[in-house]
Amino acid sequence: MDDFTATAQSRKVDQLYFDTKHWRSQLQFTGDEIAFIQKLLHSYVFEPNTPNLFERLRGYVDRLDRVCKGKKGVIEKIAKHERGLGGMLECMDSECDLTYYRKHEQLKAEVISFQENFKILKSEIFNYAGGILKKRKPGD
């Protein structure tokens, strides 16, 4: 039988808060990565005679903008979820607990999906950029 004492419920809520704190930390780091990639894409470190350079970079910038908006949306959902977690303290049955756990798992899946999609974009950008960076001779 599940334990629905105040202490047990508090431990459950603490664990879910811990998860959301971890997600926020990951998304904060993602924000730092996005800022770096934006600077890279707007810099002048690419070989200018690369075919379709402008169009390709523009496409990456647009996709990165969508990632920024998606990140903001995920952070807002995490904040809303955190605000609602206190209600779990009132749960006195497993159905109530399950409702919170389902919402938590759904949000976790969204965070993971966001991170995977960003990882794919980041890999595409780095692979493309790595091939067209200007080559500098030592001493230049």
| Cα–Cα distance list, 42 to 19, 30, 68, 136 (Å) | 35, 18, 16, 19
Q: Tens digits of per-residue pLDDT, 77-95?
A: 999 999 999 998 888 889 9
The domain segmentation of the chain, as residue ranges, is 20-132
* Mean pLDDT across the chain: 91
* pTM assigned to the model: 0.86
